[in-house]
Amino acid sequence: MTLAGKRVLSNIYDLETQRKGWRGFSEKPPYSLTLVDSLEDSIQARQIELRTEEMRFTIAEGELADYTSSLRESRTGQRLAEEHRDQSIGKPEEVRMIWLQALATRRNDLNETGVITAETLRQMLHEGMAWLRQEIDFLDQKVSVASGNFRFTREELDKKLKGLDAQREELKQELDIAVTSEDYERLELEKIRKLMEKIKSAVPAATVSPGLQAVRLAMEAQQAKVETASIKVLVIKMMSRLAQGEQIVWKSRFQFANPGKDVPPPDVADLQKKLDAFQSWNKYIRSRLEGVEVNIRNQQNRLAAADLLEKERGGARILLAAFREQKSLMLRVDDRLSQTEQLLQRFIGEISSRSGENKTVTVRLKSRLSDTFSYTGKIWNTNLYVAEETVIIDGQKVVRSRSVTVGKVIQALLIFFIGIFAAKKMMVPVQRLAAHKFTMDENDAQVFGRVVYYLIFICILIFSLVTVNIPLAVFTFLGGALAIGVGFGAQTLINNFISGLILIFDRSIRLNDVVEVDGQRGRVTAINLRSSQVRRFDGIEILIPNSVFLQQNVVNLTLSDPFTRFEITVGVAYGTPTRSAEEVIFRAVVAQPEVRSDPLPCVVFEDFAASSLNFRAFFWVTLDPSINSNIVRSEIRHRISEYFAEAGISIPFPQRDLHLNTSSPLEVTIREKGTERTNIP
Alpha carbon 299 to its chain centroid, in Å, reads: 46
Annotate 593-616 with b (16+ C-beta within 10 A) or e (fewer).
Answer: ebbeeeeebebeeeeeeeebbebe
Q: What are the residues whose beta carbons fall under 8 Å from the beta carbon of 379, sequence distance 6 or more?
A: 406
How far CA 198 is from CA of 184, 192, 662, in Å, comes to: 21, 10, 171
Secondary structure (3-state) at 446: helix
Domain segments of the chain as ranges: 1-151, 155-358, 563-647
Tens-place pLDDT, residues 446-459: 777 777 877 888 88
Residue type, 567: E
By the 8 A CB rule, do 515 and 534 touch? yes
Please tell me what DSSP assigns to residue 559.
S
Tens-place pLDDT, residues 356-407: 544 444 545 655 665 566 667 667 767 666 666 665 555 555 555 566 777 8
Bridge partner list, 23: none
Tens-place pLDDT, residues 409-427: 888 888 888 988 888 888 7
- Helices of type H across 88-209: 94-147, 154-202
Tens-place pLDDT, residues 167-186: 889 989 988 998 999 899 88
Angle of CA points 425, 431, 434, to nearest 5° = 140
Q: What are the residues whose beta carbons fall under 8 Å from the beta carbon of 657, sequence distance 6 or more?
A: none
By the 8 A CB rule, do 25 and 35 touch? yes
CATH of 563-647, one of 3.30.70.100, 3.20.20.105, 1.20.1560.10, 3.90.1580.10: 3.30.70.100
Q: What is the mean pLDDT of residues 525-543?
A: 80
Q: What are the residues whose beta carbons fall under 8 Å from the beta carbon of 287, sequence distance 6 or more?
A: none
How far CA 124 is from CA of 11, 53, 127, 150, in Å, comes to: 12, 10, 5, 38
By the 8 A CB rule, do 377 and 407 touch? no
> pLDDT at residue 675 above 80?
no
Q: What are the residues whose beta carbons fall under 8 Å from the beta carbon of 80, sequence distance 6 or more?
A: 104
Beta strand residue intervals within 440-594, DSSP E: 514-517, 520-527, 531-536, 541-545, 555-556, 563-572
Closest CA to 133 of 11, 4, 6: 11
By the 8 A CB rule, do 184 and 232 touch? no
> pLDDT at residue 151 above 70?
yes
Cα–Cα distance between 76 and 68 in angstroms, integer?
13
> pLDDT at residue 480 above 60?
no
pTM of the full structure: 0.45
Cα–Cα distance between 370 and 114 in angstroms, integer?
42
Bridge partner list, 150: 31
Contacts 24+ apart (CB under 8 A), 19-22: 19/134, 19/137, 19/138, 19/141, 22/138, 22/141, 22/142
Q: What is the helix (H) or strand (E) element at residue 398, kind and residue range?
A: strand 396-405
Q: What is the helix (H) or strand (E) element at residue 253, kind and residue range?
A: helix 210-257
Share of the chain above pLDDT 70, in %: 79
